């Protein structure tokens, strides 16, 4: 515990305690008559209005990926990291098209997970299992990434026993995570929704202050961009190539404009298919809250653009750049930048914001993964007669298991590895895009054709990502690969293979009269806007309206 | 068994072709403006100290927000969605007031 700044540490600790108390009290917020139902524990009564949905989805979307991983990529490679900005812009119009339809059909039928929808639409347990498996698989490394973000902050704070044993060194991380696990277990989705308010306030404050204050310390934006341009044009002695790019190039390989667009499009398509984002959206009270939020959420995207620029500030600040280089971990760029630039009390606020900003999405992800497991694996294959109370208990325990699985993930694997696995999570989750999105519009696709396409996409995507190597790593080095002479995001190649297979196989299977499965949804249900939540209705519906 | 028919899109879109087209156009513009990278992958012209690429990415977000806000307003001009079990379009007069 040497080199710990007492002021910074105290502020982080106080804010963490406040958040813990709020997390436990959240169970009483809009308290239902029965908590032991997945609509309550897992979707907080499906009664959130525009305001809370905005905070909840914002809490979902902007995670340690945003605060730690994106600036780290910008710090290390330059302009290609800004694909994340482009992707958050793209995500909203794409979601604007399909998310309201998904909300409506899930509302009418009381579906809790996207797997429930697949099950009802295609009458296929196998397809729903594929969906649940992919969702849980893709969320694990994403939760692990949140932990890596917390770890990065704790490392720079100097918190942690100076021991060679990783488990001893990460005791503070364990404590933070244990608290998170317990209040998620007790309060369900209400906990992250309540904490999201605190998180966003902290983050808005520190980002806005940082964006105006740090450039004055570094000689203005002109100097920051100039330093970045010079830095990324310089030649890396190991590879004999420039360190990075300042503007995506028009060439066919490397950090190209084409790959920039492919990464942005792939990530944007993946975003609103992630189970935890769907969980956040399904908790909304009315259909129009979804569309309205798609126009309100880009306010967060502006923040992401500014946060990505922290990567260039870290390049332009010699002390930060030297610290990061010494530690050999680009993910420390933002924490080191803040520590060097800000007085220690403000560093405390910023660090607390990043830590809480990682805990909120981690909680929602664990809930989403737990719901998938309970509804589409446990209930479907092991206990079809499970009562709502048993389902809820199962989900509570599953959320703990998922979280501790992710914890082991984060501690055992090298950090760069987990960042790449998060990108691999995107490759995986994209493979459910065809079945989920096409299902919202048409029953044309045959269920086994979709399943085959999914399998092919998963296998191709995993193998292709595994085989990417660079100068320092032999596997999982990046999420883009060269196909037909062009660098392109593996997720996009895999989803093309997936869709083409599904299109080709559908007429063949139909001609062979393979059973189609029963569709329990009706066309008008995709545009329905029922006011009443599916049974049991939460206490006080129609009485306590937030507006 | 349900025949593999396409889910008809909301009947309300057909009743207001101009509004529906305007919504489609706004959403398409929001998508294309950032997906077509060559239109902004340049250093010049600089806006203040910001190279064009970075300025464009930051400035485009408010544009998307406004475009989607207009689209959601236009959607309200389409007839309100039918309630469950009610296939007619006149289902939700009560909520049209909000």
Residues of A in contact with B81 (CB under 8 A): 104, 287, 527-529
For A527, the closest of B4, B10, B34 (CB atoms) is: B10
Domain range holding B56?
A: 18-78
Residue A431 lies in a domain: yes
Q: What percent of chain A has pLDDT over 90?
A: 3
pLDDT at position A500: 92
Does residue A399 lie in a domain region? no
Report yes or no on A39 lying in a domain: no
Distance CA A362, CA A147 (A): 8
Domain-embedded: residue B36 = yes
Q: Where do we find the tokens 């994106």?
A: A70
Q: Is the pLDDT of residue A195 over 60?
A: yes
Select the residue of B38, B86, B92 nearest A257 (Cβ to Cβ): B38
The two structure tokens encoding residue A416: 């760069």
Q: Provide the chain B residues 16-45 that lie in CB contact (below 8 A) with chain A.
A: 27, 30-31, 34-38, 41-43
Q: How far away is chain B from the Cα of A502, in angstroms, using its nearest Cα?
A: 15
| pLDDT > 70: percent of chain B | 64
Q: Which residues of A touch B9 (CB under 8 A)?
A: 441
For an interface test with B, which of A85, A95, A96 has the most B Cβ atoms less than 10 Å from its Cβ?
A96
Domains contained in chain A, number: 1
Contact call for A108 and B84, based on CB within 8 A: yes
- Tell me how many residue pairs between chain A and chain B have CB atoms under 8 A apart: 154
State residue A241 phi and psi, 5-degree precision.
Answer: -125, 165
A231-244: average pLDDT: 73
Residue range A155-177, pLDDT digits in tens: 888 776 555 556 666 777 778 87
Is the pLDDT at B92 greater than 70? The verdict is: no
Collect all residues of chain B within an 8 Å Cβ-Cβ radius of residue A525.
84
Tell whether the torsion through CA atoms of A276, A272, A504 and B5 is positive or negative: positive
Put simply, the answer to whether B4 touches A89 (Cβ < 8 Å) is no
| CB within 8 Å: B57 and A92 | no
Q: Give B96→chain A minimum CA distance, Å.
A: 11
- Which pair of tokens denotes residue B56? 């464009």
Confidence bin at A471 (pLDDT 50/70/90): low
Q: What is the pTM of this model?
A: 0.82
Chain B residues with beta carbon closer than 8 angstroms to that of A261: 35-37
User: Tens digits of per-residue pLDDT, B39-82?
Assistant: 887 787 877 788 888 888 888 888 888 888 888 888 777 755 54
**Partner-chain residue, chosen from A287, A306, A441, that has the shortest CB–CB distance to B7:** A441
Question: With 70 as the cut, is the pLDDT of residue A355 above it?
Answer: yes
Asked whether the beta carbons of residue B68 and residue A220 sit closer than 8 angstroms, the reply is: no
Residue A92 placed within a domain: no
Task: Please indicate whether, in this complex, the C-beta atoms of B51 and A246 are within 8 angstroms of each other.
Answer: yes
Is pLDDT above 50 for A61? yes
Domains identified in chain B, total number? 1
Who contacts A299 (Cβ-Cβ below 8 Å, separation ≥6)?
Answer: B65
Nearest chain A Cα distance for residue B27, angstroms: 6
B87 lies in some domain: no
- Say whether A295 and B65 touch across the interface (CB within 8 A): yes
Considering Cα of A227, then A230, then A231, then A232, what sign does the dihedral take? positive
* A469 found inside a domain: yes
Residue A165: predicted pLDDT: 57
Identify whether A360 is part of a domain.
Answer: no
Of A96, A305, A442, the CB nearest to B61: A305
State mean pLDDT over A327-351. Answer: 86
Whether A453 maps to a domain, the answer reads yes
Average pLDDT, chain A: 80
Q: Buried (b) or exposed (e) across B22-39, using 16+ Cβ within 10 A?
A: ebeebbeebbebbbebee
B97 falls within a domain: no
Asked whether residue B34 is domain-assigned, the answer is yes
Q: Which residues contact B63 (CB under 8 A, 6 or more apart)?
A: B30, B33
- Segment A442-467 shows an average pLDDT of 86
pLDDT digits 0-9 by tens, A65-113: 888 888 888 888 888 888 888 888 888 888 888 888 888 888 888 888 8
Read off the pLDDT of each residue in A265-287 and give the average, rounded to a whole number: 85
Quote ipTM for the complex.
0.77
Pick from A45-54, A115-124, A321-330: least confident: A45-54
By the 8 A CB rule, do A88 and A301 touch? yes
Look at A529 and B95 and tell me if their CB atoms are within 8 Å. Answer: yes
User: What is the pLDDT confidence band of residue B95, given thresholds at 50, 70 and 90?
Assistant: very low
B12 pLDDT band, cuts 50/70/90, is low
Residue A542 pLDDT level (bands cut at 50, 70, 90): very low
What mean pLDDT value characterizes chain B? 69
Q: What's the pLDDT at B82?
A: 45
Q: Which long-range contacts link B15-21 to residues 24+ away (Cβ below 8 Å)? A: B15/B78, B15/B79, B15/B89, B16/B77, B16/B78, B16/B79, B19/B74, B19/B77, B19/B78, B20/B78
Nearest to B64 among A89, A250, A530 (CB): A89
Determine, for residues B35 and A444 on separate chains, whether the beta-carbon distance falls below 8 Å. Answer: no
Residue A455 confidence (pLDDT): 92
Q: Are strands A235-236 and A486-489 parallel, antiparallel or unpaired?
A: unpaired
DSSP type of residue A165:
-
How far is the first Cα of chain B from the last one, in angstroms, to the nearest whole number?
40
What's the confidence (pLDDT) of residue B1?
39
As given in the structure block, the two tokens for residue A397 are 């325990």
Q: Pick from A143, A185, A184, A150: which is nearest to A170 by CA?
A: A150
- Is B5 a domain residue? no
**What domain range is A441 assigned to?**
414-515
A544 band by pLDDT with thresholds 50, 70 and 90: very low
Q: Say if residue A370's pLDDT is above 60.
A: yes
Ranges A99-103, A281-285, A486-490: which has the least confidence: A486-490
Cα separation, A184 vs A473, whole angstroms? 37
Is A523's CB within 8 Å of B7's CB?
A: yes
Instruction: Give the three-class secondary structure for A241.
Output: strand
Asked if residue B90 belongs to a domain, the reply is: no
Provide, as residue numbers in chain A, all residues whose Cβ is less than 8 Å from the Cβ of B86. Answer: 524
- When scoring B1, B6, B7 by the number of chain A Cβ atoms within 10 A, the one with the most, hence best to mutate, is B7
- Chain B contact set for A301 (CB, 8 A): 61, 64
Q: Within a domain: residue B96? A: no
């Amino acid at each position: 515990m040497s080199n710990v700044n007492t002021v910074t540490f105290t502020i982080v600790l106080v804010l963490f305690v406040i958040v813990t108390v709020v997390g436990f009290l959240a169970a009483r917020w809009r308290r239902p008559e029965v908590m032991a139902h997945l609509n309550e524990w897992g979707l907080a009564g499906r009664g959130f209005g525009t305001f809370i949905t905005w905070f909840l989805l914002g809490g979902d979307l902007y995670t340690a990926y945003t605060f730690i991983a994106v600036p780290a990529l910008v710090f290390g490679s330059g302009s290609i990291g800004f694909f994340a900005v482009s992707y958050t812009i793209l995500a909203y119009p794409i979601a604007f098209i399909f998310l309201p339809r998904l909300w409506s059909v899930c509302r009418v039928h009381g579906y809790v997970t996207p797997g429930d929808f697949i099950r009802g639409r295609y009458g296929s347990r196998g397809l729903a299992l594929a969906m649940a498996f992919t969702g849980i698989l893709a969320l694990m490394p994403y939760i692990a990434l949140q932990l890596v973000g917390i770890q990065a902050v704790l490392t720079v704070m100097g918190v942690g026993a100076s021991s060679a044993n990783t488990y001893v060194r990460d005791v503070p991380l364990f404590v933070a995570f244990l608290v998170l696990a317990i209040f998620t277990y007790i309060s369900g989705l209400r906990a992250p929704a309540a904490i999201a308010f605190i998180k966003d306030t902290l983050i808005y404050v520190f980002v806005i202050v940082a964006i105006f204050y740090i450039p004055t310390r570094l000689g203005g934006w002109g100097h920051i961009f100039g330093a970045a341009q010079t830095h990324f044009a310089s030649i890396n002695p190991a590879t004999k190539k420039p360190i990075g790019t300042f503007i995506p190039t028009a060439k066919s390989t490397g950090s190209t404009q084409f790959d920039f667009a492919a990464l942005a499009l792939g990530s944007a398509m993946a975003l609103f298919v992630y189970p935890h984002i769907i969980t956040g959206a399904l908790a909304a009270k009315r259909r129009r809250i979804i569309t309205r939020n798609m126009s309100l959420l880009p306010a967060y995207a502006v923040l992401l653009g500014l946060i990505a620029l922290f990567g260039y500030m870290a390049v332009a600040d010699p002390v930060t750049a030297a610290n990061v280089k010494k530690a050999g971990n680009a993910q420390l760029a933002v924490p080191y930048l803040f520590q060097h630039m800000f007085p220690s009390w403000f560093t405390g606020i910023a660090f607390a914001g990043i830590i809480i900003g990682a805990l909120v999405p981690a909680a929602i992800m664990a809930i989403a993964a737990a719901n998938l497991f309970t509804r589409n694996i446990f209930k479907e294959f092991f206990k079809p007669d499970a009562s709502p109370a048993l389902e809820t208990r199962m989900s509570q325990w599953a959320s703990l298991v998922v979280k501790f699985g992710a914890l082991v993930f984060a501690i055992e694997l090298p950090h760069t590895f987990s960042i790449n696995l998060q990108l691999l999570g995107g490759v995986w989750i994209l493979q459910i895009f065809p079945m989920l999105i096409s299902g919202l519009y048409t029953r044309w696709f045959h269920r086994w054709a979709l399943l085959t396409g999914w399998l092919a996409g998963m296998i191709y995507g995993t193998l292709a990502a595994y085989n990417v190597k660079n100068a320092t790593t032999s596997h999982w080095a990046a999420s883009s690969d060269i196909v037909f002479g062009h660098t392109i995001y593996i997720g996009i190649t895999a989803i093309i293979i997936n869709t083409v297979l599904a299109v080709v196989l559908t007429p063949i299977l139909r001609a062979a009269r393979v059973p189609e499965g029963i569709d329990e949804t009706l066309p008008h249900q995709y545009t329905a806007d029922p006011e009443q939540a599916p049974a049991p209705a939460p206490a006080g519906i129609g009485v306590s309206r937030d507006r | 068994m349900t025949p593999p028919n396409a889910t008809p899109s909301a009947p309300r879109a057909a009743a207001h072709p101009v509004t529906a087209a305007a919504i489609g156009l706004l959403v398409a513009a929001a998508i294309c403006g950032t997906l077509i990278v060559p239109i902004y992958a340049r250093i010049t012209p600089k806006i203040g100290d910001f190279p064009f690429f970075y300025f464009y990415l930051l400035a485009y977000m408010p544009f998307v927000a406004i475009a989607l806000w207009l689209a959601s307003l236009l959607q309200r001009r389409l007839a309100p969605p039918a309630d469950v079990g009610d296939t007619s379009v006149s289902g939700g007069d009560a909520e049209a007031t909000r």
